[in-house]
Structure 1
Amino acid sequence: MSPPSTRKSSAAAPGLVASRHTATRATWWHLAMIVAALVWLLPMLWMLSLALSDNATLSQGVTGLIPRDFTLDNVFGVFSVGLTSRWFLNSAIVAIVTTVLTVLLCAMAGYAFARIEFPGRTFVYATVLAGLMIPKEAMFIPLFTMVADAEMHNTYAALVLPRIAAPLGVFLMTQFFSKIPLEMEEAARVDGAGPWRTFFSIMLPLATPGMFALGIFTFVQTWNDYLWPLVSATKSEMFTITTGLASLQGNFAQATELGSLMARGLVGSLPLLIIFLLFQRHLIRGISMTSGGK
């Protein structure tokens, strides 16, 4: 008969092998994710390198990820060209106001579709979701006509209002509210809370992760939008950062200075990077909870 220590080591061997196999798979998975992240970051690193390089040096060649003749003139010079400061402010106002209104309206609509029984709810919800199948470019002509009839072009309202109708946001918030236990609302009713008090004091705080995720999506899409500001804002002082920086391409000197061009792209995308770095945990949590994760 074999000693007890031998029997214990034999029994533990399969578990040890399995744990080592799992650790090896996890290591290879992380390495693959690191490589994918580096590939995704490569264009951004190249843009950063060009933005920090001297324009005269870049005219001789643009290879490599290390800045050539390091300089900050291109970055500091972004706000000295055109109305860049005003364009940046326009984008900030439009993106922030659009995000707040979209999140609030989509949260109210999502709560109604998920919790409130009313005639035709299924039909109305299906009609809202049908908006996901219509490309926004197909709505440009009627939307442009409506805004023109209201004499709202070249205003912040024209840049904000068409964006707050977000079928995807309504869908996300409906899914989120439908996963909140009914006992939460029942407890609020027992305590004497009305529908509005229940929504703002109970449901909205519980839906914070989903609202953060929707807010980040909305902010990024609004900040990056180019077509609608290009159509609606015809005065240079009402350009957003995307249309404003693109308008500088008509200037031959600005279009041929590669370092300045990359610096404008870097400054234009910087707020999005900051937003993602600050709220990435909320974004991941909101998406996982909306899709049914814990």
Structure 2
Amino acid sequence: MSLGATMQGQSRWFDRVILLVLIGFAVLWLVPVIWIVVMSLKPNDVLIRSTAGFLPIPFTLENYANLLRVSTVPNWLVNSLIVATAMTLLTLVVSSLAGYAFARLDFPGKRIVFVLVLAGLMVPEQAVFIPLHTMFSDWGMHNTHVALTMPRVAVPIGVFLMTQFFKAVPRELEEAAELDNASRLTVFWKIMLPLSLPALTTLGLFTFLHAWNDFLWPLVSATETNMYTVTVGLGSIQGNFAQSEGLGSIMASAVFASVPVVLIYLIFQQYIVRGVAMGSTR
């Protein structure tokens, strides 16, 4: 057997080992998820005796029915959709415009401003809760969708990611458009934005995921029940469900809150993979 054939065989064996290890980690990651879904489909009187088992036997949808009987749950879901969608769209607009400006435009104090943006990555969001709360309280904007959305729009990581992406785009594409008398805004809108679709999709998904799962700021800003997001709302009724309905209802609420995010990921996963691949090769 030649040396080349031996090395090729070792490479295939190594790839198979890596694949098996990754499959093992994936299974370990899925076990708690499967366990939560199964418990949400079991009657609570069964779960009182034992929570073991990965088959929903006996099977019931009563836990989900009890959850939907809470009249405010659909309203909480709508609030989360509004806040997460608005935050995602505004973040993409701000991050793409700021990233393009830092990557392509020259203006006084550019480096200093960019350093300040990067410095924002080191500031914990909890550190600015008191100023934010005071500011929105003085404006009388608590318990509104604006107050739930605006504090998360200007995210430094989004500006940084879009800046790095636009820097990697060849300048020749813009120069060719400028020779055709295209304005800076036209170049950005018709050339740079379409090229950045994978990066925008990835940033948008992570922003939506963060907005959907955000708990602390909505808990601080939304004090009226009708303005709760789904995370705050389900958290507020978990104690009652645990006492009156049982563990199955809590698991049903966890599944209910995570379904929209899973669906969005499944729809846009090809763009996420493409964005990560482009980012790793640049």
What TM-score bracket applies, with the shorter chain setting the length? over 0.9
Match for residue 101 of structure 2? 112
Name which of structure 1's ranges 220-229 and 241-250 shifts more when overlaid on structure 2.
Answer: 241-250
Match for residue 103 of structure 1? 92
Does 2:265 match 1:276? yes
Instruction: Report SS of the residue matched to 1:101.
Output: helix
Cα offset for 1:254?
5.4
Do the aligned residues in 2 keep the contact of 1:172 with 1:290 (CA within 8 Å)?
no
Do the aligned residues in 2 keep the contact of 1:248 with 1:255 (CA within 8 Å)?
no
Query: Which sections of structure 2, spanning at least 5 residues, go unmatched?
Result: none
Which of these residues, 239, 253, 261, is aligned with residue 264 of structure 1?
253
Match for residue 134 of structure 1? 123
Does 2:17 match 1:40? no
Does 2:213 match 1:224? yes
Cα offset for 1:81?
1.7
**Larger of the two Rg values belongs to structure:** 1
Does 2:190 match 1:197? no
Give the alignment's TM-score, normalised by structure 2: 0.97
Cα offset for 1:255?
6.3
Match for residue 25 of structure 1? 14
Match for residue 154 of structure 2? 165
Q: Matches of 1:21 and 1:79 in 2, distance apart?
A: 55
Give the alignment's TM-score, normalised by structure 1: 0.93
Match for residue 277 of structure 2? 288
Q: Matches of 2:166 and 2:256 in 1, distance apart?
A: 37
Cα offset for 1:253?
5.3
Cα offset for 1:140?
0.3
Q: Matches of 2:135 and 2:241 in 1, distance apart?
A: 36
Cα offset for 1:75?
2.2
Cα offset for 1:122?
0.3
Counterpart code for 1:112: A
Structure-2 change in CA distance of 1:198 and 1:252 (3 Å): closer
Cα offset for 1:17?
1.6
Q: Matches of 1:68 and 1:142 in 2, distance apart?
A: 51
Cα offset for 1:287?
2.5
Counterpart code for 1:284: V
Counterpart code for 2:90: L
Instruction: Report SS of the residue matched to 2:49.
Output: coil
Do the aligned residues in 2 keep the contact of 1:94 with 1:156 (CA within 8 Å)?
yes
Does 2:37 match 1:57? no
Match for residue 5 of structure 2? 16
Match for residue 149 of structure 1? 138
Q: Matches of 1:17 and 1:281 in 2, distance apart?
A: 36
Does 2:222 match 1:237? no
